[in-house]
Each structure stands twice: as C-alpha cells, then as structure tokens.
Amino acid sequence: MAEKAPKEMRLTKQRQAVLAALRSTDTHPDAAWVYQEVRQSLPGISLGTVYRSLAALVDQGLIQELPQEGKVLYDANITPHQHAVCTSCSRVFDLVLPPLDQLYREARRRSGFHSISAYRLDFYGLCQRCAAA
Amino acid sequence: MAEKAPKEMRLTKQRQAVLAALRSTDTHPDAAWVYQEVRQSLPGISLGTVYRSLAALVDQGLIQELPQEGKVLYDANITPHQHAVCTSCSRVFDLVLPPLDQLYREARRRSGFHSISAYRLDFYGLCQRCAAA
DNA sequence: AGTGCTACTAGTAACTATTACTAGTTACTG
DNA sequence: CAGTAACTAGTAATAGTTACTAGTAGCACT
C-alpha cells in the first residue's frame, strides 16, 4: 500500500473542462452527466476520456469519488463534509457537521484497525421537495 | 414513497439456502460468493435466482444491503451497526458504536430534511492483517 | 520554433454486476 | 390433491465502467 510516486499529469483541455464542469455545480453528478456537460464546449470528447479524466483528478486529489447505489458520483468539494441522500429522488446534498473525534477514537479501538484514515457518513431521508409531494 | 403492501413471499428452498449461506459467515459477501456457496447444497441454482432471493430477503427485512465500490454486499446482521472497511484488502468488518443521537439531530437541522430515517457510517483504514504486511 | 519523448485522446470492444424475459415448476390455499 | 400465482433455470439484455489501439498533443530541451 505504498504511495506510488505521483507521475506527471498533464493538464489537457479535456481535463480542464471536466474539472470546470464539476466545479460549476453543487450537485453530485455521475460520469454521464459530466460527459453531456463537457460536450457543450468539447463536442468531440469521448466518454472514456471523461472516465479517465475523472480518475486522474481523483488521483491528484482535486475531486472526490462518492460511490452510491451501483454508480460513482463525483464531488468537486474536497473539504471535509458529509452527505444527506434523498431516498425518493436520490439527490445528494452536502452537509457540514462537526468532526467525529470521539467516535473516531472509539472506532479505532473497537475495530482493531491500527489506523483509520477516513470515514464516510451518509444520512438518508426525504428532501424538502419530496417531503412536500 | 408509500410502503407497498407486503405481498406473499414463499420460503422456497433456494431462499432458505441463500439466507443460511449469508448467516453462516460474518464477512460481507457479494452475490457471486453466495452463488458459489449455495451451489454446494443446491448445485442447480441459477445466479439470477440468487439475486432475486437476495432482493426478496431485503424486502422482508431479513438481510441488509451494503453498496460498496461498484457492487452490492449483503449482511445477515440486521442489528444497528457500522462498518470498518480495509482500504487494502477491501474486507468489511462489523463495528458496534453508540448511536449518533446528537449528530442525528444536527444533521436533520442542517440538511433541511424533514425526517432522517437512517444513516450509514463507514470507517476506512488498514485492517490488522494488512497493517502487519 | 523545432524535435523527441511519452502521456494522452477518440473510438471501439470487452468486461462486471445486475436485471429482464420466457417457458416450465412448485409452494401454499382451500 | 387440485388450482393458481409466485416462483425457478437458463439465457439474453442492460448499465456502468475499463481496456485496447493507433494516432495526437503537451511539455522539456534545445
């Protein structure tokens, strides 16, 4: 599990466009959405390139992956935060909560894991729009 | 999002075998593992039946789904608990932690969700075996 | 501003996990 | 112990993602 030497990464126009598209929204889009979006400025881009660009940006720590129910969503917000997922419309909302320091220590103790590098906390419920309907 | 009337569910030998296989382990297997396992007692079972049985058991609340990195894992432990995921070997371990009552309220307040029905908390780190290697 | 190295791209095929379809079977009700 | 609807095996289809290949284009160094 050694970190691999961060090999040179070129900032091609495709990757810039993918990053810009992700940064243009506060939703949590999937690769297909990014593809549609980026095609407006780069009509010739291929879906494979979108996937590879997303992977490269994740490697560089510029974006976050958010695996969710059979697909991967992406998030340009890389500050620590959690998510609230609507069980009806599946939209994902950002949620800033105080850090789980106590629970973190407790988790390390009870899991037997020597180190815990991260956690993920998702809440599930009905968003305002779906609760109204 | 209304609960659908719980329609009659038959406890066929295929479903019993799927449930028994899941209950025989404290790991968090995927459908393919269950398929291999169940084939030892029911060699003619089809993978599709395993998927449908798992879905039926989830509907009945007898098992839990645990979507994880592009596939769905299953857990026969339906008591409330969290998970510690090894970032090296991908194994998933159960982790019992005190309930997040405070954070729960905070999440409801900050998310604007009218109700929050569940949450999911995963910790990521190196399991004992992988940390030793 | 050229030249060369190598990461990159488009396009397509392949792959993995899962779901849908169909004709025949079987568990439960009466 | 018969009727019927939910089920099953087998196979095809689908969704999301990754791999492959031949050509392209950033970037370092003249």
A92-95, strands of its sheet edge to edge: A92-95, A82-86, A115-126, B115-126, B82-86, B92-95
Asked if residue B8 belongs to a domain, the reply is no
Based on the fold, state whether residues A51 and A97 are members of the same structural domain.
Answer: no
- Domains of chain B: total: 2
Convert the pLDDT of each residue in A82-112 to its tens digit. Answer: 999 999 999 999 999 999 988 999 999 999 9
Would an 8 Å CB–CB cutoff place A87 in contact with chain B?
Answer: yes
- With beta carbons under 8 A apart, name residues in chain A contacting B104: 123
Q: How many Å apart are CA A10 and CA A98, to the nearest integer?
A: 36
CATH number at residue A70: 1.10.10.10
Judging contacts by C-beta atoms under 8 Å, the chain A residues touching residue B93 are 111-112
Across the interface, whether the CB atoms of A122 and B120 are under 8 A apart is answered: yes
Does any CB of chain A come closer than 8 Å to the CB of residue B89? no
| Token digits of residue B28 | 């968090």
Q: Do B44 and B66 fall into the same domain?
A: yes
Residue B26's alpha-carbon distances to A79, B74, B95, B104, in angstroms, are 34, 10, 12, 28
Q: Count H helices, E strands: chain A?
A: 5, 5
pLDDT confidence of residue A7: 58
Q: How many CB atoms lie within 10 A of CB A118?
A: 12
Please check whether strand C approaches the CB of B13 to within 7 Å: yes
Measure the CA–CA gap between B19 and B23, rounded to whole angstroms.
6
Angle value at C-alpha A5, between A118 and A46, nearest 5 degrees:
80
User: A64 and A19, same structural domain?
Assistant: yes
Q: State residue A69's pLDDT score.
A: 87
Q: Which residue is it, tokens 């026969």?
A: B76
Q: Do B113 and A88 touch (CB under 8 A)?
A: no
Place of tokens 């989830």: B58
Structure tokens, A127: 């968003």
Tokens representing B27 are 């790991």
Q: Does A4 map to a domain?
A: no
pLDDT value at residue B4: 40
Partner-chain residue, chosen from A96, A112, A125, that has the shortest CB–CB distance to B113: A125
Q: Are residues B31 and B52 in the same domain?
A: yes
Tens of pLDDT, residue by residue, chain B (133 residues): 333 444 578 999 999 999 999 999 999 999 999 999 999 999 999 999 999 999 999 999 999 999 998 899 999 999 999 999 999 999 999 999 999 989 999 999 999 998 899 999 999 999 999 999 8
Is the same domain home to A37 and A52? Answer: yes
Tell whether B39 is covered by a domain: yes
- CATH code of the domain in which B114 resides: 3.30.1490.190
Angstrom CA distances, A12 to A16, B2, B14, B50, stand at 6, 48, 53, 45
Average pLDDT, chain A: 92
Give me the domain span that covers residue A55: 13-75
DSSP 8-class letter at A36 = H
Same domain? For B109 and B68 the reply is no
pLDDT at A133: 84
A47 touching B (Cβ < 8 Å): no
Asked whether the beta carbons of A36 and A53 are under 8 A apart, the reply is no
End residue of a domain, out of B54, B75, B96: B75
Q: What percent of chain A has pLDDT over 90?
A: 85
Query: 């030793």: which residue's tokens?
Result: B132
What's the CA B10/C1' D3 distance, rounded, in angstroms?
A: 17
